[in-house]
Each structure stands twice: as C-alpha cells, then as structure tokens.
C-alpha cells in the first residue's frame, strides 16, 4: 500500500510580543494585545504564545533590555515559533538584530498590516496601492539585505568609475517603481474623479467610515441589497464600493471604504489616499461603530483622527463640538445592537447623543437611518403651499430637494419636501406653519 504524505502546509507559528512603557495603562495594554492577536489570526498565523514586556526606558538595540530579548529568543525556540510579531514599529536595525538573535523572521505592526492588505487585494487598484505601501516599507530596510555592500555592478573604465553598489542599484529601481505606481494610481484617481462628477450631477453621496470590522460592509448590504464581501475579520474590504441607496427623492449613493485601525501605517494612508478620497468628497459621512465592542471609545477617536488627517473633518468635530459651517455633516451609527442588553444601549445613546442604533443583521433601525440620511443631506421635511399659477416654484423644489408628497388643488399647490436651508429661505413666505415650526412666517393659504 502506498504511503500517504501530508501535503497541506501548516500555518506559521508566531510568538506575539508587545513592548509597553510605564505610560501605558492596563486597559490600553490589554486592548492593543487583543487587537494584535486579531491581526495575526486574520493573516492566518497560529499564535504560539503572547508576551507583554514592560520597559522603563527605550533600548535602541532590541526595544527592550538585552537580557529580556534573550529570554524572548529562548521562548521562541522552545515554542518552535517560525516568526516574532511585534505590536509596534521596529527600526531596520532592530529588525536585523532580532533576526540575528533568534534566527527567525521579525515582523512589526506595519509589515503585518501590509501583509494582510496584500492577501486581500483583489482589484487592480488595490494591488497597486498595496505594492506602493510595500515599497515604501522596504526602501529604508534595503541595507540589512546585504552583508557586503562593496559589490559593484555596471562599472567600466572611463564611464562611471567603479560603478554602482548593489544597494544603490536596488534603491534606484525601487524609487523608479514607486514613481511608476504613483503615476498609475494618479490615473485611477482621475478616472474616479470623473466618475464621481458624473454621479454627483443628479445624486448625493454618503461614505461609510469607521474602525475595521465595525460592520460597514454588512450595513451597505442591508441598506442597498448589495453582495459586498462581509466577514468577521479585520480589513475584509479594501476597495471603495459604491451602491445606490433607495430614496423617495433624488438618487442617493453610498460608498463602503477601507476600515481604519490604531496606528495605521502612514505608507498605507498615502497608498490608499485615492480610495479614501471618497470620504473627503462625500456629502455626508456615516461613522459606523461596533456597539458591542468594549473599546468603542478608542475606535471612535481613531477614526476621527484619520478623517482629520484626510481633511474630511476638523479638530472641532474631533473634540465633540458641533461641526463648523464649512464642514460636511456626519451621522454616528451604533451597529450590532442585537448583541447588546437594553441598559448597555441606553448608556451608549447617552454617551453618543444623536446616534442611530441599528443592526445590519436583523434590520432594526434601518428605516430610521435612511430617514436621517435623507434629512442630513436635504434638510428636515417641510410643507409648502404655492399659488396655483406658480408651477415654477414647484419645479424649483423638484430640482433642488427631495419631494415626499405633492398635491395640486384648485386654489393651491401643496408640496412636502426636504430642502437645503438656502432654498428654504427663498421660499419662506410659502411655508405651511401647520407642519413646520411655530412662529415662522405664515404660508400662502390660497386666498
């Protein structure tokens, strides 16, 4: 009988190491350790063990004392770990020192996230963006690839002297590759901008933003009937996906964007800027929070920090105060309320006043969310009564707002609609005070 062999490749075993200074609190340390484990599992690694090392001062060689580093190396050997994964950024020299000490690869937080993105890139745009991030990460780490930097290439008497070193050649090739990728992504950005301009002529746009795995893709599917991939994993979505949101008035389009994370590598922010522009260009931001996650406050602040860097929100909004008039509106959505008990939900509604509780899984709260989106984009519902011979005013409402109901009577035209405040001011004398706020100028009554 033929002998059977195991052909399936075993997952890499990783020893997770978190380095914490005395400034880090216990809650933050535990939260970051949990997030690191989630990232490692998303990449498909097996967690051999997880260690947290507390330090009093920075150590340039390993990020921790030599004795503690040797202890971690011995532990990695005992566990037969294939790699070390650090919840922080390693300098090129620290990465080289760890690999020499342990004989296995050392992966920091930046490289870990980039590898996850690389594994999830499906479209040409996502592949370009990930490749660019990889090159940004690789460029300052070229030196530890070469032991002998005096190797020469391309030199000839009377031309380039002794020639270029291998390091110089590779650095130049990477810089040229970065330049080509930037040019190609700029073309993608221009095409996206052209598509956006065509789409914005007759529609308003919303962007779903939030921490990774907050349920943005599931919410998009629930609102629009789309079939966007929605997994209980970090960074399930990399590409901005746009779908039409059913509405009574003008067309509303809603976009799903890549999720954010604490200490998101700047290389990734720069690489994915063309995709993240959907947030800066949107008429309305919908900030999706996982209401069931105990770290909801940190995730809220992280998202605002990235949005502020992109220019989509201001520091005023990040401080929790009302948005300045030149900034776009933002709705806060508490998703996954099906996992909460009523007292917890009541607390969050007080913690985030004006937020909208929903469940993408059960559909709870989705109707209210659509109404709030419509109101945020078009203003509150108001009723107008126009003279029967002023069909031009009715046409103005149709052009500039969302018409909810319309009735043509013998003595007046009655329209209930959502309009921007500037258009409402032009039609103020025709407002019907029975529906609208008391104390406003009386509407024309048909007499």
Known binding-site residue numbers: 210-217, 235-239, 256-259, 335-338, 359-361
Binding residues for GTP, as ranges, are 210-217, 235-239, 256-259, 335-338, 359-361
Cβ pair 201, 343 in contact under 8 A: no
Question: What is d(CA 267, CA 88) in angstroms, rounded to the nearest whole number?
Answer: 15
Q: State the virtual CA torsion across 118, 121, 127, 132 in degrees, nearest 10.
A: -40
Question: For residues 53 and 63, what is the distance between their CA atoms, to the nearest angstrom?
Answer: 10
Q: Which residues pair with 206 in a beta bridge?
A: 254, 284
Q: Are 394 and 349 within 8 A, CB to CB? A: no
Which helix (H) or strand (E) segment holds residue 47: the answer is strand 46-55
Number of H helices, E strands in the chain: 15, 15
**Residue pair 40/16 in contact by the 8 Å Cβ criterion:** yes
Angle value at C-alpha 197, between 196 and 198, nearest 5 degrees = 90
Burial code (b: 16+ CB inside 10 Å, e: under 16) for 45-84 equals: bebbebbbbeeeeeeeebbbeeebbeebbebbeeeebbbb
Report the chain's C-alpha Rg in angstroms. 28
**Residue numbering of the annotated binding site for Mg(2+):** 217, 237
Phi and psi at residue 319, in whole multiples of 5°?
-80, -5
Going by C-alpha positions, the residue among 94, 138, 106 that lies closest to residue 267 is 138
Q: What's the CA gap between 47 and 44, in Å, rounded?
A: 9
**Residue that is written with structure tokens 């011979």 in the block:** 389
Pairing of strands 381-386, 413-418: antiparallel
């Amino acid at each position: 009988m033929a002998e059977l062999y195991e052909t399936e490749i075993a997952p890499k075993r990783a020893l997770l190491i978190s380095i914490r200074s005395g400034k880090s609190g216990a809650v933050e340390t535990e939260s970051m350790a949990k997030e690191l484990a989630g990232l490692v599992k998303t990449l498909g690694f097996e967690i051999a063990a997880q260690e947290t090392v507390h330090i009093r001062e920075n150590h340039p060689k390993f990020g921790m004392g030599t004795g503690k580093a040797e202890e971690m190396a011995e532990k990695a050997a005992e566990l037969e770990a294939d790699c070390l994964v650090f919840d922080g950024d390693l300098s090129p020299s620290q990465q080289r020192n760890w690999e020499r000490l342990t004989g296995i690869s050392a992966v920091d937080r930046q490289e870990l996230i980039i590898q996850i993105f690389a594994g999830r890139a499906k479209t040409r745009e996502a592949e370009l963006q990930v490749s660019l991030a990889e090159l940004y990460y690789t460029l300052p780490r070229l030196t530890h690839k070469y032991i002998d930097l005096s190797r020469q290439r391309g030199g000839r008497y009377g031309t380039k002297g002794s020639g270029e070193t291998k390091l110089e050649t590779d650095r130049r090739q990477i810089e040229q590759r970065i330049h080509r990728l930037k040019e190609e992504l700029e073309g993608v950005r221009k095409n996206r901008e052209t598509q956006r301009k065509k789409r914005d002529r007759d529609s308003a746009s919303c962007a779903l933003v939030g921490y990774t795995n907050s349920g943005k893709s599931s919410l998009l599917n629930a609102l629009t009937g789309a079939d966007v991939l929605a997994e209980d994993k970090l960074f399930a979505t990399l590409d901005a996906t746009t779908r039409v949101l059913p509405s009574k008035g003008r067309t509303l389009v809603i976009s799903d964007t890549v999720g954010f994370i604490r200490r998101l590598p700047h290389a990734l922010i720069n690489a994915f800027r063309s995709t993240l522009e959907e947030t800066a260009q949107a008429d309305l931001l919908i900030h999706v929070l996982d209401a069931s996650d105990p770290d909801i406050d940190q995730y809220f602040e992280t998202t605002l920090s990235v949005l502020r860097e992109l220019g989509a929100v201001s520091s005023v909004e990040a401080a929790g105060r009302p948005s300045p008039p030149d900034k776009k509106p933002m709705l806060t959505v508490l998703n996954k309320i099906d996992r909460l008990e009523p007292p917890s939900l009541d607390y969050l509604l007080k913690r985030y006043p004006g937020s909208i509780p929903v469940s993408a899984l059960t559909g709870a709260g989705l109707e209210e969310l659509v109404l709030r989106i419509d109101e945020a984009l078009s203003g509150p519902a108001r009723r107008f009564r126009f003279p029967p011979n002023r069909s031009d005013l009715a046409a103005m409402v149709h052009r500039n707002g969302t018409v909810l109901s319309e009735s043509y009577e013998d003595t007046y035209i009655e329209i209930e609609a959502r309009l921007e405040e500037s258009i409402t001011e032009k039609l103020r004398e025709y407002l019907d005070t029975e529906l609208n706020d008391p104390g406003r100028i009386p509407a024309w009554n048909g007499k």
